[in-house]
Amino acid sequence: MEFQYVLMEVKDHVAYITLNNPQKRNPINIDTGRELKECFDRCDYDESIRLVVIRGAGGTFSAGGDINAMKARIDAGIRGTRPVCRMLGEAFLRLRNVKKPTIAYIEGSAAGAGLSLALACDFQIADEAAKCLFAFVNLGFVPDSGATYFVTRAVGTTRATELFMSGKVFTGRDAEQWGLFTKAVPAAELEETVQKYIKKYANGPTVSYANIKTMINRAQFDRYSDGMQTEIELQGMCEETDDFKEAVNAFLEKRKPNFQGR
């Protein structure tokens, strides 16, 4: 299976999915979403696959949304945020419903939609020093790709409000302490820790795991699709603002944006 932005390899009943654009720190665009969804379909339907591991190439999980693609749309006068959000929402919902245990292997940094991808997995194993942030607000955007749904349920509304509105950086260790990630360990122990999870869950009672996931999804994610539809609508409104255009230009010009609230 050949992709442009994603690599997929199956070894010893484990599917290894790698975001593969390390030069740009593995951003997630609409094409990445399509390729991921295809991978998740295969993982779900292939009975030889018993576990899924997702990571980023080059020592970074994912920088999140593709700023260069956003800039290209701005310059061309094209509104493309809603289709991107819709595609990523479909892909991450598909991941949430894969009937196999899924692990996010988090190195370097995870931001925006990349962080949402990690949270859609069953387990998040991270370098304790990994830099994480919900960067949406820094672009004049709202959280998307299911972030609001995942985070409010994991950490509560008070901390979620701070994380989303501040856009501040937090570490893998912080995320573990808040209940956002499963486990955070020193970088030197990350590979060994992930391998322990792989060994345990690739050799466990697969049908039981699938049913446990179904029960959790029905208990906690019954309105996940509705939440993502709200993200799509509101993100489209944010895309029309001058603040969004200013934020994208400021990011690429490496300066602080001058928000006007319009």
Nearest of 177, 24, 51, 189 to residue 114 by alpha carbon: 24
Nearest of 92, 81, 128 to residue 17 by alpha carbon: 92
Task: Reduce the secondary structure of 6-69 to three states and give it as a string.
Answer: EEEEEECCEEEEEECCHHHCCEECHHHHHHHHHHHHHHHHCCCCCEEEEEEHHHCCECEECHHH
Block residue for tokens 């260790």: 173
Task: Give the Cα separation of 131 and 186 in Å (integer).
Answer: 13
Cα separations (Å) of 163 from 160, 193, 240? 5, 27, 24
How much is the pTM? 0.92
* Geometric angle at alpha carbon 147, from 144 and 148, rounded to 5°: 95
Q: Residue 180 is encoded by which pair of tokens? A: 């956002």
Per-residue pLDDT of the chain (262 residues; tens, 9 = 90+): 579 999 999 999 999 999 999 999 999 999 999 999 999 999 999 999 999 999 999 999 999 988 888 888 888 888 878 888 889 989 999 999 999 999 999 999 999 999 999 999 999 999 999 999 999 999 999 998 889 999 999 999 999 999 999 999 999 999 999 999 999 999 999 999 999 999 999 999 999 999 999 999 988 877 777 777 888 888 889 988 999 999 899 989 989 999 999 8
Q: Residue 73 is encoded by which pair of tokens? A: 């749309």
Task: Give the Cα separation of 194 and 185 in Å (integer).
Answer: 10
Cα separations (Å) of 51 from 17, 41, 47, 187? 11, 13, 10, 23
Give the pLDDT score at 20: 97
Nearest of 59, 190, 212 to residue 128 by alpha carbon: 190
Block residue for tokens 């993502």: 228
Beta carbons of 137 and 174 less than 8 angstroms apart = no
Neighbouring CB atoms inside 10 A of 41's CB total 13
